[in-house]
Structure 1
Amino acid sequence: MATAQGMSGIDVRAVTCELSAKLPLWIDKVYQFETRTLGIRLNGEDHAKYQLLIEAGRRAHLVKNFPPPPKNPPQFAMLLRKYISGGKVLAIQQHGLERILIFDIGKGTLTYRLIIELFDEGNVILTDEAYRIIKPLRHHRFRDRDIVPDAVYTMSSTDPTGSPEALAATLAGDDRDLVRALAIAGMLGGTYAEYVCLTAGIDKTTPASKADPGPVFDAIRSLFDGVQYAGHPVISATSCEPVVIAGESKSIPDDKNRFSGFSEALETFYPMTRAEKVRITSKPKLSEEERIHRYQETAIKKFDDKIKKTEEMVSAIYENYPFISQVISSLDAASKRLSWQEIERHLRDTSSADAKHIVAFHPDEASVELDIGKKVKIFVHESVEQNAGRYYAVIKKFKKKKEGALAAMKNIRQKKKIIRHDIVPMKKLWYHRFRWFVTSDGTVVLGGRDASQNEELVKKYMAGGDLFVHADIHGASVVIVKGRTEKMDEVAQFAASYSGAWRSGHFSADVYSAQPGQVSKTPQAGEFVARGSFIVRGERTYYRNIPLAVGIGLVLEPQAAVIGGPPGVVRSRTKRFAELKPGQYEPNDVAKKVLRLLRQKITPDEEKLLKGVLNTETVAAFVPPGGSDILEAS
């Protein structure tokens, strides 16, 4: 059962089952609200949207709304976005009854694993398919495992409740009574362990090694089935439970404390984190000068703290001068005839009190970390004075930074005069270098301008939830639909218009779509696949006799930009618009004609403000290859 301290293994099983029932899912975006709290937006089928809140070491469940994210995303959130945004969730699993939740995420040809630890201080770890760590939220080195990049993430190889044989072996080797063995070794916890004993009909004080494992295993499976398939979550004064256990001594909570899903119950049970409360509470808006002044004051305080701690380390070094000198001498000599691994092994095995002061080894730096009241790093090929000198250098550096911050605080910042315009240029987005448009139901569609961009779109940007679209003619843009849309007529017209059909003077073309898994660069024996081309295997969906047409228009609100795409889409979003059909005029001439037509629809003042937005280059970006005629202008 979930308590204020965190979720149990049974709770993690209930959440795992709840999330797995919503598959397939796609990763949308990752947020980090505070040091240990993250959020993942998930897209499901039929436009379903879900929000997974993760508080490492405590909880992971769906919520209705996220707290406001920070203005500048932390580095770990940005790294997760880079690797898994757009990826498809292939599976969600729990390792045994441990408080570990694992997401298998496919993106392109690669598979990643996002591991969420809900025990102790917790962690969120991104690994590759072989569990090799790419990046953890928190780096940590334990006695039996390392949570650092390039290390292999390891978990217990046994699951005490995974099979009758595993349970029998666990009970046979446990010298406690049955209820304690199930609660601790079986990871059931006290309440569920007592329930299992009661259901199995075995006295809970029976020695575990003498208990019949058969009825106990059946009772455990019955509990799991109830949690996974027949749960009725409830909240009591001190806990949140995924299922009401029959025979509990306490009364069943009132209906007002019952919930349709376990995530809903957990969201109600857990209070907001401190950071969530701070962000939701309204704060007085500070001026730029006040904000900078507060930042500088905070920085100076950090510098003072760092200087003080470093000075204390220097004092500790000189107070323990003989001991540190002896450590340096011994390890320097030992390193000349033994490897660092041998040195570490020897010192870990010795009972020497002095060796116990060495808490960490750093072979790459030929240094050790000593606990002498303060933890200090000592380089064994340098003298005591040289080691102390390293810390003096740190003190000097931060004193210099503090002087700079104090000097900056004395400078009076002149407030920059802000000139406001009604026309704001559209912010340049990553996909604007491709051909692009947004469907009338809000889905981004991308197309390659040449063979190189075709390759890039498929290899780098096509994800599991996307759609591959191509005109059924040689020499066409690869078109990628980033998500789901009901407007495939618009997508098909975009793909047909930016193809060799336009250059050949055709007025219609056939278009087909396929799933990303059908698209390959690997030819059969004797075949050759040119750059920018791909092999599509399996069944395709065809769109026949799609009319060729492109619209180019100028939009001013909410942001100014030249946009292009299917005429119906462009016409609905702009007041200044031109429609093109295959014809006789060269692309550069057409771009200049369209530019003149659009400029005729704006005032001289608007034209000055739109100088960087409305020009030949921005218009030409949407003109198809080959001859064109201007069919309509408004």
Structure 2
Amino acid sequence: MMTCSRWYPIKRVFSSLDVAVVIHELKDLIVCSLVDNVYNDSTGSLVLKLRGVSGEVHYLLIKPSERLHITRNISRLGCVGRVPLFRRYLNGLKITGIEQLEFERIAVLTFGGRESYRLYVELIPRGILVLTDTEGKVVVTNKEFKGKDREVVIGRKYILPPMFRDFRKLGIDEWFEKLSSYKSLIQGLTRGLGIPPEVVNEVLSDRITGLVDKDIISEVRGRVIAFVDEVLKKPEPVIIASKNTHEYLAFLTFKPSRLGDDLEVLTFNSFNEAVDNYFLQLIPKDFIADELKTLDDELVKTEKLINDLKKELEGLRVRLNELRRLHDLVAVNYEVLDSISRCVWDTIKTSGWDYVSKCGVKDYDRSKGIIKVVLEGTTVELNVREGVKSYLIKLKSGIKECEDKIMKVDEVINNLLMKRDILRKERDEVVVPLIRKVDWYDKYHWIITSDGLLSIGGRDAKQNEKIVKKYLSDNDIFMHADITGASVFIIKCDGRIPSEKSLYEVATLAACYSRGWREGFGNLDVFWVYGKQVSKKAPAGEYLGLGSFMIYGEKNYLKNIKLELALGVSINGNYYKLIVGPEDYIRSKCKVYVVLQPGSEGKEAIAKKIIKYFTERERRLKYLDVNSIVLKIPGPSRIVGVSNV
């Protein structure tokens, strides 16, 4: 197998194995769900809001050529481009199935209800989204496509792109035939058979590099198929990250057997969760660049408009001054102008236009009836057919019109200046969103005590069973609330003795994550024993259920532990973690936090209030989602305190 000391380039698209695993998960999550609405997001993805049979809501993100998964990042949703067409056809329909074509990067969602449709999701390079009717004709697509192998146009029969056949169904002769046309085995496996590169890297031995015979190919074929079948049966979703920078480099459906010392593996409960976390780290970088470009473009346009309007305003003011001066000049010389006008009019009647200069006229335009008269060095143009009084009225009307225009342009400029200030402020406030750091123990309740000891607790009976069997050593601490129906907590002591403070911190979690919270208790006793006192063996004739254990020897009690839990955000660089514990503990580690006690308000409602409080005080928490908060809330609650920020 090949050791990877770094992952380059950063993985940005699904492999065919990724598609297979995500579809397996999506079958349980979204089949039988109704399409509540259809959107697009800031990344150009199609987002389906789905409502399950029990009322749960999921957002399915579909980005052609890249990925398909459930997302919690539902900010900046819109409905532009061709999304209204997808919305028109899909809203209210039920997802009746989802499948993968061959073992290719193409998924097909089927919809039923008032109409039946199929949505083809092409995750191949230059892939598109295509919705077809029952006859296979294209109803809507995110874009028309014309290539050498096919053409996809609305109203015509949909043609699939060229696809690899499922390599698992090909015999050894077909493998040998396809591989023989390539210079290396790696190229043949990836380009000839369409096997994902990560599978080849994991399965292929370092000793097998160049061209090989049929026996070796048969061995490789067996390894590849067995490995893929095992991953499909039991995927282990992970993210590969840099230990130094914590930058995410790749997402996989399995734990790599060997990695370089500079890389770390982050595990997740589902592939959907892993992929969503992965792209949430990549999105901010792209998002920031896009947001800055959008703001910069808008600023340039706004500045240009302001400058153009200022020039127009300057011209209007010059014109207004000219009109006012002309009006005053005419008004002062009214009798002179009126006398000249009458003289001209009489002369035209008796002698014609050729003789009007004797009336003191500088020039004239007989076709328009205009005479030009110089008054105090200024040439005044007067229509003799209308007279001086009508001329003054026109000048007043022109002055009023000019004043109104100046007022309107001035108002528009002021609005644009305010808009410019807002855009500049928004640009200055563009921040890189914090990314949730994920560790292996995040799947459990957990706390790292003031002494630096890790304690984990089960979210349910199954997890209670697992952490005791897998993680509890003889000299570790086992802790449990003195009530039936509570999380088991263990403290990994690593040869150290926990202080009273550490015991109290873990006891707070043990008490809060128990039936006592749901029933509204004010306090509970909590006991602890050493790991060697805990057994899964029941006395003769008795049976221990899932998550139940026998405790032998003396129990140590922590009395009257208050059911009060602080929940805060710990920030380290560009990463954050949601942590819980007693208020004093959380205050020492978090700038923003809330304090909860048992109450009557549901977990989701409380979570939304917490998110509002957190994001108002730390704008970088823009991707904080409700589900991650809900997992930290023991049950129906009330907020009894907040941080002083």
Give the TM-score taking structure 1 as reference length: 0.40
Give the TM-score taking structure 2 as reference length: 0.40
